[in-house]
Amino acid sequence: MTEAKVILLASRPHLAGLGLDPEDMGRELGNLVNPGQIRMVDDWTSLDAGAFSPEDRLVLVGRSDPWPGGPPGQWPLNLNVEAPWLAGPLNERVSALVRAAVAEAARLETPPARLVEPDRTVLVWGDGLEAGRVVERIAKAGFPVLWAGRRPGNQVPGVTALPCSGLRAVEGFPGRFTVWLDDNGHWTDKAAGAVVLCGRLTRRAGLEFETGPGLISLSTLEDGWEREQKPDWAEEPGFRLVFLAGAGRPPTPHGLGRILSLALRARRETKAVVYVLAPQIQVAGPGLERLSGRARQAGLVFLRTPLQGPDLTVMENGRLRITMPDLVARADLSLTPDLLVLEDEVIPDPELTDLAAALGLTVGNDGFPSPDNVLFPAGTTNRAGILAIGPARGTDAPEILDREILAGLDVLQELLTDRTVEDRLIVDRGRCTLCLTCVRICPHQALSFTNRPWADPLACSACGLCVAECPMDALQLPDHTDGRVKARLAALLARPRTEAPRLVMYGCRRSAARAMRIAPRPDEPVDLAFIPLPCAGRIEADLVLTAFLGGADGVLIAACHDHNCRTQQGGPEARRRMGYHQDLLAESGFRPERLGYITLAPNMGREFTELVTQFHRAVRDLNQPPASGDPT
């Protein structure tokens, strides 16, 4: 760690605006830095950029964002945001905040940077129309493409066909993957910068029934009809043909399009009476509104089922009977279909499920390898550089496939570009015992090792999980070393106590820190020291216990909501650790309720205040000695 020159720039108007005497405060703050390193500023625009060198670290009291024209190392500090959350005399609060910023500024790490030149080759795995489309579009965008599949085409320029029976492993890192393909037992390896899983479309009817007489899946009916053969019931007048959107969920627009096209065909070519049953009819697809109008005009009867689907009972003669309430008719309806057509849904191909397991891809609730997380563009997985598009995501609609391809191309363009990157992880060789806990725990497979572990900068998301789990404390994130975090903590806790219970919040930069900026002031005096972290995944027992040992009465962990975590697993992992942390507290003689866990989004300012106030009151109650005299 280098002790670098820290310069404190304090805005007189900002201090005066808080009700402080700028000169008095300026003298107090001057004690926090080396002599001559504090400057009082009246107007930020009057500063001369030439007065600073690039290695200088600036602490800017009175700004929310860095000063343009200044050196890279800057710590803006807006006292209006931070000061109301501490308790005690104002000048003590300001002093503590500035001392914390100076302590952090003094411990800046500059990790080494290097040039990466990723391989622009993209390997696409899959068969069929969907895979063909993906391959074509990626090749058109200028990437060399390897098409691995059972029957890859070779008509497209820039595409190399690699017939194989399976994809077995993807080793290495984004920009320099080694992909292992299996050609009936004969394995070969190929180099690729990124891998796009497309797979093969597989469908299954969405209900628990075996298909039997009177029951058929939409795909089967579609396929049979394509051969220009009218079904054998075509001439039966009054034949009741009933389409049921699958599994008690609304049909997707694409699914509805298929149902309507086939139903209209039935009306045109047969004498059947046609019903379409669905919880909702969503016409958000090209031409669907018009199609549904034509369907109604042609005499299709649309009935809205309850969300979970209609009641289906098997009658004595083996036929199915449908009953459901109809809110428009204000009566219950019953119907015995002569043929019930079940919409089938796309399911993960078993081959895809195996592949996801082999590649270490986390699988969502629907079985497909893309995270249920709103921050991740369609197609990304937990491994950077491996995308799942089309059938590998459960998509069968051509227009949605096109959009996924576009989103995937954005990801590929950003990833496979030559650029300079900084190391994202610092390893203390002296401490590391090569236990490989970090390699095993990384949810992104971003770590590997030669004679020491290292994190690939293209794959690593700086979540801090490995840092938190390393049993030897051998790993550090450059921006948030233990030293730096603890220096800030110490600076903020070095104030005289007030009546308010002393709270520490370890909060995610992305959510909690931003929510705090727009949070309304608490109604009662709260004493909250805020420590921002790159991700809640970074929070380890050491940090929690250090806070308590430093005088905190309560520690609050603030993460992003489970499906909003920037690193996918950091926040959920922090939640999972809570039990362990609370056990430690109990063993140490503290009440486990003094450790709290909340989730926030960046726009939840009001909730920030509410949740902190609640926690503050709970800890205050714990602080009052109860009747039993228990001092914990």
Partner 1 sequence: MTEDQPRTWDLDRADPDFKDDVARRPGAEKIRLCYACGACSARCPVGDIDPDFDPRRLIRMVILGMRDQVLSSPLLWYCATCFTCQETCPEGVNFTEVLFALKNMAVEAGYFPPAMSAQTELLKNHGRLYEITDFENQNRGKYGLPELPERPDDFKTLLEQLKIEPREAD
Residues of this chain that bind partner 1 (CB under 8 A): 238, 240, 273, 281, 292-293, 296-299, 301-302, 304, 323, 326, 328-336
Beta-bridged to residue 324, according to DSSP, are 333
Contact 421, 114 (CB under 8 A): yes
> Least distance from C-beta 523 to partner 1, angstroms?
45
Rounded-to-integer distance, Cα 134 and Cα 125, Å: 10
Up-side HSE of residue 619: CA atoms within 13 Å toward CB? 26
Nearer of residues 114 and 330 to partner 1, judged by Cβ: 330
> Least distance from C-beta 244 to partner 1, angstroms?
14
The per-residue DSSP string of 550-561 comes to TT-SEEEEEEE-
> Least distance from C-beta 282 to partner 1, angstroms?
12
* Sequence-distant (≥ 6) Cβ neighbours of residue 614 within 8 angstroms: none
Nearer of residues 238 and 318 to partner 1, judged by Cβ: 238
Contact 137, 117 (CB under 8 A): no
Write down the H helix ranges in 298-420: 350-359, 398-415
Nearest alpha carbon to residue 310 among 302, 295, 318, 321: 321
- Which amino acid is located at 216 in the chain? I
Nearer of residues 209 and 302 to partner 1, judged by Cβ: 302
Rounded to a whole number of angstroms, the distance between the first and last alpha carbons of the chain is: 38
Please report, for residues 12, 36, 66, 394, the alpha-carbon distance to residue 62 in angstroms, rounded to integers and kept in the order given.
8, 19, 10, 51
Rounded-to-integer distance, Cα 515 and Cα 494, Å: 25
Nearer of residues 306 and 520 to partner 1, judged by Cβ: 306
* Sequence-distant (≥ 6) Cβ neighbours of residue 576 within 8 angstroms: none
> Least distance from C-beta 331 to partner 1, angstroms?
5
Nearer of residues 44 and 302 to partner 1, judged by Cβ: 302
Backbone angles phi, psi at 9, to 5 degrees: -115, 115
Cα 622 to its chain centre, rounded Å, is: 35
> Least distance from C-beta 305 to partner 1, angstroms?
14
> Least distance from C-beta 328 to partner 1, angstroms?
5
Rounded-to-integer distance, Cα 49 and Cα 8, Å: 15
Nearer of residues 244 and 416 to partner 1, judged by Cβ: 244
Nearer of residues 285 and 550 to partner 1, judged by Cβ: 285
Instruction: State whether residue 87 is helix, strand or coil.
Output: coil
> Least distance from C-beta 249 to partner 1, angstroms?
20
The per-residue DSSP string of 364-390 comes to -TTSSSS-S-TTS-TTB-SSTTEEE-G
Rounded-to-integer distance, Cα 293 and Cα 300, Å: 10
Tokens 């939840």, located at residue:
604
Please report, for residues 6, 119, 421, 425, 459, the alpha-carbon distance to residue 112 in angstroms, rounded to integers and kept in the order given.
21, 22, 9, 10, 17
Copy the structure tokens of residue 100: 């914390």
Nearer of residues 14 and 304 to partner 1, judged by Cβ: 304
Nearer of residues 287 and 299 to partner 1, judged by Cβ: 299
Instruction: State whether residue 182 is helix, strand or coil.
Output: strand
> Least distance from C-beta 192 to partner 1, angstroms?
50
Please report, for residues 6, 41, 498, the alpha-carbon distance to residue 52 in angstroms, rounded to integers and kept in the order given.
11, 15, 39
Contact 212, 223 (CB under 8 A): no
Nearer of residues 293 and 579 to partner 1, judged by Cβ: 293
Nearer of residues 141 and 303 to partner 1, judged by Cβ: 303
Copy the structure tokens of residue 26: 């300026």
Nearer of residues 98 and 300 to partner 1, judged by Cβ: 300
> Least distance from C-beta 332 to partner 1, angstroms?
4
> Least distance from C-beta 245 to partner 1, angstroms?
16
> Least distance from C-beta 273 to partner 1, angstroms?
4
> Least distance from C-beta 269 to partner 1, angstroms?
17
